[in-house]
Amino acid sequence: MKTLQEVDDVVLDFSRQQRIGLPEAVLCEGKTAPQLVRILQLCEQNKTAMLLTRLSSEAFRLLPGKWKKSLDFDPVSRTAFFRKPQMAAGVSRVAIVSAGSSDTRVVLECQRTLAFAEHPCTVIQDVGVAGLWRLQKRLKEIAAHPIVIVVAGMDAALPSVVGGLVAGALIGVPTSTGYGVATGGHTALHSMLASCAQGIAVMNIDNGYGAACSALRMLNSFERLR
């Protein structure tokens, strides 16, 4: 019988950027260290940059030193860049707004995915509605962006309030912040889906990467329509 190492278990989609304008990325959760090494080897051979998501500090630690050094790794967002992209200058078209500082890990996953695609963005954190003055102080700045990503856990009331005040495209990212009925983020998810504000498009729980991709799809369309 073939051993795991001999099995051909990784097929990378190097044409994705060209086909749909989104960068190739790899979800590391559930993958073994040998699988991750094979993926990085394929990228190296192919001279391609790669975004790694859900790479825990533990999984990063298990990589061989050579590959560890090749990565720009951020432990809070659990993301890594293979072949770091040039940071984009220019106008920020995306605002990432969060309800609390416990949402930082999701905010950073989103920000770093946009950065990997060479898009700058504006980050405005800890402006949840329990202290409404925090949001009101930053509202004009938020509303100036054509795309607003709202990251919130627990009751996720923030996107409903933002949605009633801001005209641009709105993406909600529920987080698994909280305990009791908030555990796992399902309350935040359902709250966003059932929002009394119109036209909030919602991502999976903690999916900052997906929110960035949704924003990239819109930015692609903006470019095309110019």
Closest separation in Å from C-beta 61 to its own copies: 18
Question: Per CB under 8 A, does 169 bind its own copies?
Answer: yes
- Within 48-107, the residues that bind its own copies by CB under 8 A are 54, 74, 76, 87, 93, 98-105, 107
Closest separation in Å from C-beta 140 to its own copies: 13
Among 56, 64, 68, 132, binds its own copies (CB under 8 A): 132
Nearest to 216 by CA among 111, 79, 87, 103: 111
State how far the Cα of 42 lies from the Cα of 34, in Å rounded to an integer.
12
Among 21, 33, 62, 92, binds its own copies (CB under 8 A): 21
Say how many residues touch its own copies, by CB under 8 A: 117
C-alpha to C-alpha distances, 96 to 5, 90, 134, 136, nearest whole angstrom: 41, 17, 15, 15
Angle of the 104-116 helix axis to the 208-225 helix axis, nearest 10:
40
- Which range, of 2-10, 42-50, 55-63, touches its own copies by CB under 8 A? 2-10
Question: Per CB under 8 A, does 178 bind its own copies?
Answer: yes
Q: Are 49 and 43 in contact (CB under 8 A)?
A: yes
Question: Per CB under 8 A, does 151 bind its own copies?
Answer: no
Among 43, 147, 150, 151, binds its own copies (CB under 8 A): 147
Question: Per CB under 8 A, does 141 bind its own copies?
Answer: no
Which ranges of 14-103 does DSSP label H, i.e. alpha helix?
A: 16-20, 33-46, 57-61, 65-69
DSSP letter for each residue of 167-185:
-SEEEEEE----SGGGGGG
- Within 187-226, the residues that bind its own copies by CB under 8 A are 187-207, 209-210, 212-218, 220-222, 224-226
- Indicate the residue type of 106: V
